[in-house]
Amino acid sequence: MELGKINKLKAARFAPQGMYFTDEDGNEVLLPNSRLPKELKLNQEYEVFVYRDSQERLIASLDLPLAQVNEFAALEAKERVPFGVFMDWGLDKQVLVPLREMREELEIGEKHAVYLYIDDKSERVAASTRLELFFDREIDHLQEQDRVEVVILERSSIGYKVAVKNRYQGMLYHNEIYQELSLGQKVNAYIKKLRTDGKVDLILQPEGMDHIEPSAQAILERLKEKEGFLALHDKSDPALIQQELKMSKKTFKKAIGTLYKKRLVELKEDGIHLISTTP
């Protein structure tokens, strides 16, 4: 049974104070009556989050947090107290960023990037904004063009700082982003460059021909929605292309070339005309 993690546990027995769940080794954790759903069934397995309450007792929850121990997240600051700031992580009990783990003052009501860990003294889940202490700089085994899951952590003047595979520090640059992103969001990205400082540059679409086919398909779908015509061409304003199709002009031109070669569209002075939807 892992503290601060989502565990697969069996509903083992009822007690006056609630339901006890057990793992394969017979370890027990209580789900209190106040959180006990009516439809819970004995001897069935459930995804259960395990943490310590304010009295340091091991407690189970069927409500799952926004992030687990050893994960990065962007959480909203809810309350400032003398010893730190409490953050909303999706449970009724908030998680604390202790003063010693605050890189800077946290604005209440704003989302801030944190890393979740187990505090050695209290054995409770805590959070830190000192992200640089937790990123792994050993990236040699990663491969450029690999698809990876990232968590959007912070916005800066050049792009978004992200956590790659909840382990490495990465960056998505504004001039290569063609969709809306929000702090805390999880998205798939592709490794563009492995940097010598142990950080990773990423893009949201794969480069090369792997990128063209999905983009070409997106244009076909948009043509169907627009009754077979789009008033776009190779001289169109890049901002107009981005607004209409959520892609760069470079990607647009390559995708249109693919559709033209497959004789799916006709290119005229007024725009793109759909010929067929079957390659």
pLDDT digits 0-9 by tens, 242-256: 999 988 898 899 899
**Percentage with pLDDT > 70 across the chain:** 96
Question: What are residue 265's DSSP bridge partners?
Answer: 274
Does 123 map to a domain?
yes
Does 51 map to a domain?
yes
Does 1 map to a domain?
no
pLDDT digits 0-9 by tens, 156-201: 999 999 999 999 999 999 988 878 899 999 999 999 999 999 999 9
Write out the E strands in 129-239: 147-155, 159-164, 168-173, 186-194, 200-203, 229-230
Residue 224: both structure tokens together: 């169907």
Do 91 and 34 share a structural domain? no
Does the pTM surpass 0.85? The reply is no
Mean pLDDT of 254-268: 89
Instruction: Give, in order, the Cα–Cα distances in Å from 260 to each of 104, 112, 223.
Output: 54, 46, 14
**Domain-ending residue, one of 188, 203, 218:** 203
Tally DSSP H helices, then E strands, for the chain. Answer: 3, 18
Do 96 and 54 share a structural domain? no
Mean pLDDT of 29-53: 91
Do 82 and 27 share a structural domain? no
Q: In the prediction, which pLDDT does 178 show?
A: 77
Domain enclosing residue 159, as ranges: 147-203
Does 139 map to a domain?
no
Per the structure, the count of domains in the chain is 4
Q: In the prediction, which pLDDT does 279 show?
A: 44
d(CA 207, CA 50): 41
Does 142 map to a domain?
no
**Is pLDDT of 54 > 90?**
no
Do 245 and 194 share a structural domain? no
Does 66 map to a domain?
no
Mean pLDDT of 130-148: 94
Q: In the prediction, which pLDDT does 278 show?
A: 47
CATH of the domain at 268: 1.10.10.10
Q: In the prediction, which pLDDT does 201 show?
A: 97
CATH of the domain at 151: 2.40.50.140
Do 162 and 115 share a structural domain? no
Residues in contact with 225: Cβ distance below 8 Å, sequence separation at least 6, in sequence order? none
Confidence band, pLDDT 50/70/90 cuts, at residue 212: low
Does 138 map to a domain?
no
Do 164 and 114 share a structural domain? no
**Is pLDDT of 208 > 80?**
no
Q: In the prediction, which pLDDT does 275 show?
A: 85
Does 154 map to a domain?
yes
